[in-house]
Amino acid sequence: MTFQTIKDIDVKNKTVLLRADLNVPTQDGQVTDTTRIDRLKPTIDYLLSQNSKIIVLSHFGRPKGQEKPEFSLSFLPPFLEKKWSVKVGFGQESSEQVTLLENLRFNPGEEKNNTAFAEELAKHGDIYVNDAFSCAHRAHASTEAITHLLPTVAGLLMASELNALNDALESPQKPVMAIVGGSKISTKLSVLNNMVTKVDYLTLGGAMANTFLAAQGHDMGSSLYEPDMLDEAQDILKSAKANNCNIVLPIDCIAVEKLEENAPHSTEFALQFPSDKSAIDIGEQSIAHINSILKTCKTVLWNGPMGVFEIKPFDNGTNQIAKQVAALTKSGNILSVAGGGDTVAALDNAGCIKDFSYISTAGGAFLEWIEGKELPGVKALEKAASKSKAA
């Protein structure tokens, strides 16, 4: 993967259009999680050190091409000022060094990847910087069309995300383990199909492991599984074999009659599962087995929890694996990358967020990337890099 960043070109005294993802969670006009704002700070600091003028572009919510006041970004500058330690103006009339423009999605051209809207945006700056990996799976005016109009480079956040993802899947140190869990195979078919061609171990957990066990002919009792996905599961098992990918399935499972907090539970062998119970987490033997393989790995990529982590104590399997990955990362033995809405919540619950090499908060874009899809926003960066090389 070749792309340029703001450090590879001259941004001194230039006006930079910075595509950010400031689609932050809010409640009553307050930002409830500032992660997305915090992560942009290195880019802002570098551009300020170069005396660049920064025009920040972002979408917020789904106003669907209409100017709906409840989706205005005008409330945000004070929050940005606090985190970025710089005055932030709002709207096209602002003359501050850092200015946030109104919600991109107020213009119907944004989501249509419309050239006229991209031209309107491009007017405001000399250089386009994309620092919104989480929006890179969409070809929108502010992520794609605009890259045809201005010199285009990655921001520092985008660069760190692309480098981490590249080190985990495109050119990883081997052996590589992918851990894929969660509830459904159907939502992760492309992920699984891509993983079996790329990794040495594919560890399956969550309800999706139940579907694989069922596909192998085992009765999983009243566990959640997808009866209409058995053929797909078998195909993935075959493809794994053809690609020398070892599938790691649960040996034992935590079983309950009724799923609720602190429900009475037993440990059952996955291959002799009782007909009246549901498998809701992996058991200690599975955990020990996975952990022993992890010790031999150099790279781990994780999406999807091992069990119903929202209900205690059925977060145990996820927590124990997370702690092992965190410890191996801390001791410098592995590179660990994780992503996915519930996965990030599960790793947070395990207290392990800080100890992973990289946690991707880019939900849809992260999934499409592990599916092996080409992301329009990333492709545009690569194209711009090869164009500038040729020039």
Report, as residue numbers or ranges, the catalytic residues: 36, 184, 341, 364
Least distance to ligand ADP, CB of residue 294, Å: 19
Least distance to Mg ion, CB of residue 363, Å: 8
Query: 53-57 and 152-154: which strand pairing?
Result: unpaired
207 binds, among Mg ion, ligand ADP, none (CB under 5 to 8 A by kind): ligand ADP
DSSP output for 123-179 = TT-SEEEE--GGGTTS--TTTTGGGGTS-EEE-HHHHHHHHHHIIIIISPPSSEEEE
Least distance to ligand ADP, CB of residue 286, Å: 12
Is the CB of residue 96 less than 8 Å from the CB of residue 89? yes
Instruction: Kindly tell me which of 5 and 303 has the beta carbon lying closer to ligand ADP.
Output: 303
Rounded-to-integer distance, Cα 137 and Cα 366, Å? 9
Q: Which 260-279 positions form the footprint of ligand ADP (CB under 6 A)?
A: 279
Q: 367 forms bridges with which residues in the sheet?
A: none
Rounded-to-integer distance, Cα 306 and Cα 207, Å? 8
Rounded-to-integer distance, Cα 125 and Cα 146, Å? 11
Q: Is 31 exposed, middle or buried (0-12, 13-18, 19+ CB in 10 A)?
A: buried
Please, which residues have CB within 8 angstroms of residue 379's CB and are 6 or more apart in sequence? none
Q: Does 110 bind Mg ion (CB under 5 A)?
A: no
Least distance to Mg ion, CB of residue 342, Å: 4
Instruction: Kindly tell me which of 99 and 361 has the beta carbon lying closer to Mg ion.
Output: 361
Q: Does 343 bind ligand ADP (CB under 6 A)?
A: yes
Q: Which 150-209 positions form the footprint of Mg ion (CB under 5 A)?
A: none
Instruction: Kindly tell me which of 122 and 375 has the beta carbon lying closer to ligand ADP.
Output: 375
Sketch the per residue contact string, 325 through 354, with Mg ion: x for CB under 5 A, - otherwise: ----------------xx------------
Choose the binding region for ligand ADP from 13-21, 57-65, 115-123, 338-346 (rule: CB under 6 A).
338-346
Pick from 307, 329, 356, 385 the residue near ligand ADP by CB under 6 A.
307
Choose the binding region for ligand ADP from 38-46, 57-65, 243-251, 300-308 (rule: CB under 6 A).
300-308
Query: Strands (DSSP E) along the chain, which ranges?
Result: 15-19, 26-27, 30-31, 53-57, 88-90, 98-100, 127-130, 152-154, 176-180, 201-204, 246-248, 252-256, 265-269, 278-282, 299-303, 335-339, 358-360
Sketch the per residue contact string, 176 through 205, with ligand ADP: x for CB under 6 A, - otherwise: -----xxx----------------------
Closest Cα to residue 235, out of 190, 286, 199, 198?
Answer: 190
Pick from 342, 355, 365, 377 the residue near ligand ADP by CB under 6 A.
342
Is the CB of residue 216 less than 8 Å from the CB of residue 241? no
User: Which three-class secondary structure state does DSSP give residue 269?
Assistant: strand
Q: Does 6 bind ligand ADP (CB under 6 A)?
A: no
Site residues for Mg ion per CB under 5 A:
341-342
Residues that bind ligand ADP (CB under 6 A): 181-183, 206-207, 224, 279-280, 303-305, 307-308, 310, 340-343
